[in-house]
Amino acid sequence: MAIQDIYPTALRLLGRPVLVVGGGPVAARRAKGLLDAGAVVTVVAPVASPALREMADAGLLTWAARPYDSKDVDGVWLVQTATGDSEVDARVSADAEAQRVWCVNASDHEASAAWTPAVAVVDDVKIAINAGGDPRRAMALRDAVATALETGDLPLRRRRAHQGSVALVGGGPGDTGLITVKGRRLLGQADVVVADRLGPRELLNELAPDVRVIEVGKTPGHHPVPQAEINRILVEEAQSGHRVVRLKGGDPYVLGRGGEEAEYCRQHGVEVEVVSGVTSAISVPAAAGIPVTHRGLAKGFSVVTGHEELSEVPARPDHTIVLLMGVGQLRESASALGEAGLPENTPVGIVENGYLPNQRVTIGTLGSIADQADAAGVANPAVIVIGDVVRVSPFAPSHFKTADYSTTTPNSPRKPRVLTT
């Protein structure tokens, strides 16, 4: 049988009787697939695998524990052979042919009247691939196509009318490789993208030409599109039947407005999904080799914005403080932490444009960092890390390295530091 002889189609088997001849693992897989399609399945085999027996015991299919009989094909719509015996499979196939019933012959794909494709389901798209009767080749191709759909490399957008929805997608700190697979797939399905100025902006260039991008990005002290207007846009676009992706930098639920946007959508009857992202609070320090926790240096961390009071944050070098959006008030924040008891020689690292080509790292101490930032012209987007973990960074000056931490003897206790005034 040549591939040109194949006419691809899809069968609706809901409520229709089908026959599986054979009781092994292949028969079990085929029976499961037929049950998933809603078929009424009868299995004929003297012995059945545990998987088939489970399905029979659960009442999902009928198992006739006996050898095949020619009358078994009477009245069925489709036959699948999987006995492992080519002579039995050929007889079943011939009986089905005589009654004009389609039969998949697992023993001889060349002689088979029908082939079973390799199948995958992504969203509401079902992929079925035949590869010249080579099942392993078909499975490899199926997996590659499914992955391309899941990651957004192939278009998954609906082209006909559908119910509108909103997905709040955390895009990570900006590198296109740091968005989640699910977030990438939802972006590929979007009709409308409501985009921040941060996050994986390059992905917007890969959208179809008819996808509308609504820019709502904010900069410190400049919010051209107020939050109330962003909320209104999300609901209005979804109620117009569009699939809306709210593409945000980092994680939408970490010091962002994702919770407010989700609540507003739900209050207005709009389906909303939240897809967590790689938060810049952890990932951007990591881009500079700074872990927010490190055995022997810090067991916990706090994430705050530069606009928040720091009085409730533990003022200790062994408790990491991560400041988001804190460049504008860095001097005030450093002073407040100093007044709370944090030593002036506590290491501080600032990572600008994390993971982007223009990433820059500035490292100093609590007492010096504000002057260093002013001299260097440090600007947002930036993440500020305060605490002894900054010592681990490969960008830290050599005199920051101490014996207070170790990766080769990680269970060694942290040595107490004696501070002098």
Give the pLDDT mean for 78-94.
93
Query: How many percent of the chain have pLDDT more than 90?
Result: 59
- pLDDT tens, position by position, 108-132: 877 788 877 777 877 778 787 877 6
Give the pLDDT mean for 345-353.
95
Instruction: Indicate whether this model's pTM tops 0.75.
Output: no
Q: What are the Cα distances from residue 372, in Å, to 362, 369, 392?
A: 8, 5, 20
Q: Residues 191, 196, 251, 318: which is the catalytic one?
A: 196
Place of tokens 């050929």: 90
Contact 281, 176 (CB under 8 A): no
Give the pLDDT mean for 398-408.
65
Of the candidate ranges 142-146, 208-212, 281-285, 324-328, the one whose mean pLDDT is the lowest: 142-146
Of the candidate ranges 8-17, 144-153, 273-282, 403-412, the one whose mean pLDDT is the lowest: 403-412
pLDDT band at residue 413 using 50, 70 and 90 as cut-offs: very low
Q: How many alpha carbons lie under 13 Å from residue 127 in its C-beta half-sphere?
A: 22
pLDDT at 312 over 90: no
Higher pLDDT: 96 or 5? It is 96
Domains by residue range for the chain, with CATH: 15-116 (3.40.50.720), 119-150 (no CATH), 165-278 (3.40.1010.10), 282-400 (3.30.950.10)
pLDDT at 359 over 70: yes
Rg (CA), the chain: 31
Q: What's the confidence (pLDDT) of residue 417?
A: 42
- CA dihedral (366, 370, 376, 382) in degrees, to 10, reads 80
Q: How many alpha carbons lie under 13 Å from residue 213 in its C-beta half-sphere?
A: 18
Contact 164, 239 (CB under 8 A): yes
Q: Residues 108, 153, 182, 218: which is the catalytic one?
A: 218
Going by C-beta distance under 8 Å and a sequence separation of 6 or more, which residues neighbour residue 120? Answer: 126, 127, 142, 143, 145, 146
- pLDDT tens, position by position, 217-261: 866 555 688 999 999 999 999 999 999 999 999 998 888 889 999
Give the mean pLDDT of the chain: 87
- Dmax (CA) for the chain in angstroms is 99
Query: How many percent of the chain have pLDDT more than 70?
Result: 89
Q: Which residues of 14-29 are buried (b: 16+ CB within 10 A; e: fewer)?
A: eeeebbbbbbbebbbb
Residue type at position 162: H
How far, in Å, CA of 387 to CA of 321, rounded?
7
How far, in Å, CA of 357 to CA of 158, rounded?
35
- pLDDT tens, position by position, 167-219: 999 999 888 889 998 999 899 889 999 999 888 999 999 888 889 999 998 66
pLDDT band at residue 368 using 50, 70 and 90 as cut-offs: very high
Give the pLDDT mean for 345-366.
94
- Asked if 143 is an active-site residue, the reply is no
pLDDT band at residue 286 using 50, 70 and 90 as cut-offs: very high
pLDDT at 44 over 90: yes
- Asked if 218 is an active-site residue, the reply is yes
Q: What angle do CA 195, 200, 205 make, to 5 degrees?
A: 75
pLDDT at 411 over 50: no
- Three-state secondary structure string covering the chain: CCHHHCCCCCCCCCCCEEEEECCCHHHHHHHHHHHHCCCEEEEECCCCCHHHHHHHHCCCCEEECCCCCHHHHCCCCEEEECCCCHHHHHHHHHHHHHCCCEEEECCCCCCCCECCCEEEEECCEEEEECCCCCHHHHHHHHHHHHHHHHCCCCCCCCCCCCCCEEEEEECECCCHHHCCHHHHHHHHHCCEEEECCCCCHHHHHHCCCCCEEEECCCECCECCCCHHHHHHHHHHHHHCCCEEEEEECECCCCCCCHHHHHHHHHHCCCCEEEECCCCHHHHHHHHCCCCCCECCCECEEEEEECCCCCCCCCCCCCEEEEEECCCCCHHHHHHHHHHCCCCCCCEEEEEECCCCCCCEEEEEECCCHHHHHHHHCCCCCEEEEECHHHHHCCCCCHHHCCCCCCCCCCCCCCCCCCCCC
Higher pLDDT: 372 or 135? It is 372
Higher pLDDT: 219 or 320? It is 320
Q: What angle do CA 260, 176, 389 make, to 5 degrees?
A: 80
